[in-house]
Amino acid sequence: MEKSDITSLRTFFAQSVAKKLLDVMLPPTCPGCKTIVSPPGGLCPECWEKITFISAPTCSTCGHPFEFSGMGEDNLKGVICGSCARTPPPFGRARAAFIYNDASRKMVLAFKHADQTHLAGLFAAMLHRVGAELINDCDLIIPIPISTMKLFSRRYNQSAEIARVLARNSAKAFAPSALKRISTPRGKKSSQANLSRRARFENVRGVFIVSPRMAQRLKGKSVLLVDDVLTTGATITEAARIIVRAGAKNVDVLTLALVPGPK
């Protein structure tokens, strides 16, 4: 056995022992209720059952679930909602894994604000379940960027963590720096919270740019945007618009959670 192989084995065993010790000292817990779970990065059965996963029938464009299903799922394939019919978005398809409500909010916020980045694997698996077709069709996976201030405060971009795992598991190109969020312009807010739908769209207008270094790479490509929560669609609409304007062939969107209600 080569010396390098022996060193690799020693490193592997050391990491395994360290992981087991860490699990004993700080056992992995469910992000929803803090119950001890195994393996790490998963939900307990009770919390899993409380999650409202999104399934057909949905709008074929924005992915919002229809409130009726009397026509049957087959008859609703390709049907779009009134909002997308009135104002077609710059993206082709958007899909979300589950509804953002009391049951899912805790784990989303834990991932977003409490350093529980190990949940990225679980969330990437959820997105693959609902968006396998979008993933297969894309050339590049790009996360929605956050502001420099938020990145400095959190130390990571939650959307990028999910997108990185999604790209790795699907063998797709990951381009975390393709889209950049510029400093908050005068008159705009750094957060979309507590803004009306119209104000949200106005607030994100012009906040994204395509990295000059990545501009050529986007031309003619199918892009998949990844974000954590879709509320009004203002952020993904603006990001998709900028990417299409840069020359991308088309843009699809995957978001972890969808806030219910009128668009």
Tell me the pLDDT tens digit for each residue of 157-212. Answer: 999 999 999 999 999 999 999 999 886 666 666 566 667 777 887 878 888 999 99
The beta strand positions in 129-214, using DSSP E, are 140-143, 173-174, 179-181, 208-210
Q: State the pTM of this model.
A: 0.82
Reduced to 3 states (helix: H, G, I; strand: E, B; else coil), residue 210 is: strand
Helix pair 197-204, 234-245: axis angle to 10 deg: 30
What CATH code would you report for 45-258? 3.40.50.2020
In the predicted structure, residue 25 carries a pLDDT above the cut 50: no
68-116, pLDDT tens digit by residue? 655 555 556 778 999 999 999 999 999 999 999 988 998 898 888 877 8
The answer to whether 235 and 191 have CB atoms below 8 angstroms apart is no
Distance set, CA 38 to CA 16, 30, 35, 114, 146 (Å): 16, 9, 10, 20, 32
Integer Cα distance of 225 and 94 in angstroms: 9
Looking at residue 232, its amino acid is T
Distance CA 183, CA 144 (A): 15
CA 76, CA 25: separation in Å to the nearest integer? 51
